[in-house]
Structure 1
């Protein structure tokens, strides 16, 4: 449908109130709309319309569109809610084609949320339904989605087989639009397999076809992949251009996952070309979007130090001014009757001395309060620099070890526990983590939702940064496991996974109102990847960290594991969290 036709349908909707609950009109608009919020609006009106309730085909289409659009906005729970309604309609009428389509859509949502196990279950179920039907076009779409899921899991050979089969089907139907998606994914697969020339050719073809359709959802992925191809070649400037185009496409369609990944890619690329401020700006956006996708409110909020400090300082000035005015009045009176009231003058001087004493106490009290707040959120050296100079210069540290933790199923608990209990439970863990960090001489960096981040080697370099960090990681894991096993009161308890990496970082103070001491750089990103690649109850470390502590712990080599935006990386588990003999540790 052309844009003028779509506009004419919307005109009917806007100008003819009696047609606004016409399911066929609503269906026509939502099927050809590309703006996510607009799709949600019309699909909701469609399945809420009384006229739609007697038509299973209309309800099926409306639930399908609504659920798929919520998936694109990274709201996976809401997406599944409507996709399961879609599947129930198909189940009631034993429709194999629609049952296949519904199961594939459910699998897509599980896959994008990172739950690959459930995704594979529903993909297999949907494929069984579709292979037994005559609807080969729906089969082609299912094969494409399965290939896309396998690509995300980095099972590239299997992804290639499914994607090529889907392309063959789309070519038989002369579906250029669908074929372009297959071409784009083939390009991404070939690029990851090392065939950059073939990958670039397919990606360019896909982008050109999709450009003509004004449908940029997949284009953002393909543009990002083109950027990765050029980054692999060392052409960072061209890679940045493609990454920025990917970011623009993702923003145009409110694709949060793509926006987050584009910001992270740009952060890494700008860091490679030496533009640290721009790299940091994109990294901040990446973290912000990541938090919104997770939909978890930060449990610990930093004190508004600057505001408190200014309020305290103003209050001190008011107290001083009031005392000065009172003192001036006394001096005027004393001067007028000095010859008669020498004792009154002495009294005035006495009051002045008391005023000076009170003033000193006020100033000292506020200074101590400000210093305490400042040192509570910033390292001592950094706090002193901020007090003296009014700003803190970013510093590069060549040898730092970074630790990330993450609780299992935290999103589920966050949605089902009362807020007070959730905060109490997280505080139970993070308070202990703070003690462990202080005990081993690490620096707590921040908490984001259920994630805890700390590092050794900042703000002061230390030679045994990796050793300290792994000792802290072992203590954290032991505490979490013990709390999980011994829980006589049946309180909420979590399980944890931990990731560690070592390397250079840039550290500094972020913000102008709520100051935050933060670190960034590729070493931080890799540490986060170590955590996401870890397993429950395990400490996963990179090759960088392993090289520093290989003689001090027992390790289990995991092999080379595919890491998003990093490629294959060697990883190790701390085996049983056992430290070797004291001779080795010393």
Structure 2
């Protein structure tokens, strides 16, 4: 077994140990609490705490635990409780992780972290950072893993939770060990060990000792490795945590094998196998059998080596479902029983066959891994480009219109009975354009239009288009909005204020005064053509709104009569009288005060 794999096992096991700020999960508690859950008598915070406990302690049925966490997320969202929203997403991430869905686990953790920050829970935020780092570590993304381990450690140092802090430091050490950065790994493991020692947290001490031993084994300090691994085994045995003990026992066997002490190496491997069988740890059963097969082979005991190798294959296949190798091993054993007189020759031949099969399997697995990685890479690229194209589409079209276009390939024109349309125009823009550099003019227009975009977004207006120095927007489409006129008037006021504030700003931009016109009425909206789509509106309302702008004055907002009737109870206006409009006759107009 290579060291990276060992470190991965221990990272997972240590994650399970610290999955909820250092407290142990309890299935019996979950079973007891489920009765209260079914009675459905708790409400509010009490109900949320019940769901959190159920999601955390339910270990036999991960789908049921996931259901509890989803219910907690829903309830906390409705109640506006950020702390329990953080808890719900954190438990969801934990369960998704155990189910092997790393992408959804990562998404849940990020949402948990956001809620923890809003709830001002340093402990929760630090724990989430550590969980995110674990995901990146498992995914072999070392840079991101260390980024979030360091954020977890820095956050938890502020909270001064010793166990949570030491756990994050230990897992960061695992990441360094996986990447063969032994000096850093040793430093982190020693620091976490000191913290665990200070608070007398035995399980943490056991893991720290074991991890330190594994570092020493990697750098050739065998005596230090043996001493620390033995101490880890003793501590974890007292806690009945046998999964890492099996790994450490194999590590001890490796050490004594290198020393040339065959019998001691054999004893440690046998102890690992015995514990693994007793507690049903299939991975460790497989690894211990492989180690014993290797030891007996080097000792010249071919028959025993073959027996343990066969058991290794059987348990490995029970995990990986590689039945063809198991069948070959069974056939080999049957043939040995029937042909005792040619045992030695047969064993040598079948051993060669075994190597060929293993090599073939490794090649197949390698090719399959390359194909899967390639497919995943293409999937990520396609997903990224899809999100990018959707983002660009939403910059061009309203969300509802974009969805319709993607679903049907076209957008039907829609009539809206009540829409408020706004036009702006910069005063004497053409005069400025005659003597100002085009680049400076474009920068200036870009500055103002970006400001207008922020204002329209704030008030739920839909930007329609810009024509030269004119900016057009509307409210009440593509979704009806009863406050369309009020929202447009409020946006117009902020546009006027923006222009007024910047009019004499001491910068390199060109600054202008502005006129604004607003009119309310029916329009038809949609998109036309097959290229360079643009959401646009048509109708007499658009023409009148444009006339309102051209009949306005510097720094003023000119309203039509229909808009005035919509907002007169909320805003102060000044009646201008009936004013003659080209091709429209006389129209009543009002200035917004």
Q: TM-score, normalised by structure 2?
A: 0.44
Larger RCO (alpha carbons 8 Å, 6+ apart): 1
Q: TM-score, normalised by structure 1?
A: 0.45
